[in-house]
């Protein structure tokens, strides 16, 4: 297999060792994952995979790498290669679960528009996910052509984190989108995230040769119509790969303490400086947070946002951990039940 083609598809050097243990297996990357079926790309073939054949089917996402056993054109997944750069959120709804968005990413394009979609807190949520996964975040502000004061969006977004890259574009104009090519070269994998209607699929159409469906957002509140309904992988014209995702209605943080600490490094720096170790930052004397807000070193908005997101991630981390522990107990009791049932049957016959 041509190693250059393999690295163009994003295959990382450190997976060679795993592959070497199964030299006949074909490495392939998941381009789509549906309920019962997935599509995987090897360097020269497209495989349809029946997920009923794979016990870890709930643990697969677009961008994952699999080792396949291919017999007469039929692909059987043997194992998933260990991930890096995996973006996940707390699944929407009652069930306390993590939902995988995309794996093995280098860059996350966090897309928002220069209109009422723009929200610093939402950008902070995405930034925390990216930093937690050690994926480089880039904020892409679309619809600059429909806005007279682009700097009013670029300025506050840039202030969210030192060194953060923020690019304003007209997603419908390929020349304007060219600035994004810096993250789109061969071997690179990017994912697009953002609300419905911000122009994720329009960006794909400008950056790739594919044609994705797009649909006009509503007049008045700029809300999109949830045009894209599944995640999918696409070849970028610049040589890399990009994942389109459906617009998210809700972005609840999973446990991502490291990501929040990285994003709010300045806030965390103040936290250790209060006079009392157990300061609740609610008017206690010698509170460093109050002092930083008074002096203008820290904005009230940023502090409140940190507190809210920190509380949310801690609570979700706890409920997800409890749920996983509960699932494990269920699996154990089910296995015991099976063993006992077999034992009973065995004695009868």
Ligand X SMILES: Nc1nc2c(ncn2[C@@H]2O[C@H](COP(=O)(O)OP(=O)(O)OP(=O)(O)O)[C@@H](O)[C@H]2O)c(=O)[nH]1
Could you tell me which residues are annotated as the binding site for Zn(2+)? 274, 279, 281, 287
- Residue 201 is a binding residue for Mg ion (CB under 5 A): yes
Binding test (CB under 6 A) with ligand X, winner from 50, 79, 145, 312:
145
CB-based burial label for 115 (10 Å; 0-12, 13-18, 19+): middle
Helix, strand or coil for residue 53? helix
Question: Scanning residues 253 to 282, which ones bind Zn ion (CB under 5 A)?
Answer: 274, 279, 281
DSSP 107-119: EEEEEEESSTT--
Question: Scanning residues 207 to 246, which ones bind ligand X (CB under 6 A)?
Answer: 214-217, 224-228, 246
Give how far the C-alpha of residue 127 lies from the chain's centroid of Cα atoms, to the nearest Å: 10
Nearer to Zn ion (CB atom), residue 71 or residue 277: 277
Helix, strand or coil for residue 161? coil
Question: Scanning residues 249 to 278, which ones bind ligand X (CB under 6 A)?
Answer: none
- Residue 197 is a binding residue for ligand X (CB under 6 A): yes
Distances from the Cα of 150 to the Cα of 118, 166, 203, 325, angstroms: 11, 11, 18, 48
- Tokens linked to 203: 């960006």
- Residue 115 is a binding residue for ligand X (CB under 6 A): no
Question: Scanning residues 277 to 336, which ones bind Zn ion (CB under 5 A)?
Answer: 279, 281, 287, 289
Give how far the C-alpha of residue 37 lies from the chain's centroid of Cα atoms, to the nearest Å: 21
- Residue 112 is a binding residue for ligand X (CB under 6 A): no
CB of 281 to Zn ion, least distance (A): 4
- Residue 161 is a binding residue for Mg ion (CB under 5 A): no
Q: Which does 37 bind (CB under 5 to 8 A by kind): ligand X, Zn ion, Mg ion, none?
A: none
Asked if residue 228 lies in contact with residue 178, where contact means CB atoms within 8 angstroms, the answer is no
Relative to beta strand 241-244, strand 189-193 is parallel
Residues that bind Mg ion (CB under 5 A): 200-201, 227-228
Residues that bind ligand X (CB under 6 A): 142-143, 145-146, 170-172, 194, 196-202, 214-217, 224-228, 246-247
């Amino acid at each position: 297999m041509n190693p250059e083609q393999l690295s163009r598809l994003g295959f990382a050097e450190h997976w060679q060792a795993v592959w070497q243990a199964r030299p006949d297996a074909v490495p392939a990357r998941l381009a789509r994952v549906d309920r019962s079926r997935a599509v995987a790309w090897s360097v020269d073939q497209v495989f349809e995979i029946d997920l009923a054949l794979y016990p870890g089917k709930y643990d697969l996402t677009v961008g994952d790498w699999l080792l396949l056993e291919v017999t007469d054109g039929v692909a059987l997944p043997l194992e998933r290669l260990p991930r890096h750069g995996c973006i996940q959120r707390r699944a929407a709804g009652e069930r306390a679960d993590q939902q995988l968005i995309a794996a093995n990413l280098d860059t996350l394009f966090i897309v928002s528009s220069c209109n009422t979609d723009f929200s610093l807190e939402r950008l902070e949520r995405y930034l925390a996910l990216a930093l937690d996964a050690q994926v480089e975040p880039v904020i892409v502000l679309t619809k600059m052509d429909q806005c007279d004061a682009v700097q009013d969006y670029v300025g506050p977004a840039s202030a969210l984190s030192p060194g953060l890259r923020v690019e304003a574009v007209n997603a419908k104009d390929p020349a304007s989108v060219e600035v994004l090519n810096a993250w789109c070269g061969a071997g690179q994998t990017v994912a697009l995230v953002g609300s419905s209607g911000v122009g994720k699929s329009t960006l794909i159409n400008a950056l790739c040769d594919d044609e994705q469906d797009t649909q006009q957002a509503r007049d008045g509140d700029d809300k999109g119509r949830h045009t894209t309904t599944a995640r999918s992988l696409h070849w970028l014209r610049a040589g890399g790969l990009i994942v389109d995702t459906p617009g998210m209605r809700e972005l609840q943080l999973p446990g991502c303490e490291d990501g929040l600490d990285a994003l709010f490094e300045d806030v965390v720096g103040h936290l250790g400086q209060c006079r009392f170790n157990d300061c609740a930052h609610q008017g206690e004397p010698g509170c460093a947070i109050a002092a930083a807000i008074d002096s203008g070193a820290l904005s009230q908005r940023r502090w409140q946002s940190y507190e809210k997101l920190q509380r949310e991630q801690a609570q979700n981390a706890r409920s997800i951990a409890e749920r996983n522990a509960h699932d494990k107990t269920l699996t154990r009791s089910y296995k015991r039940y099976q063993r006992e049932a077999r034992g009973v049957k065995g004695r009868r016959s």
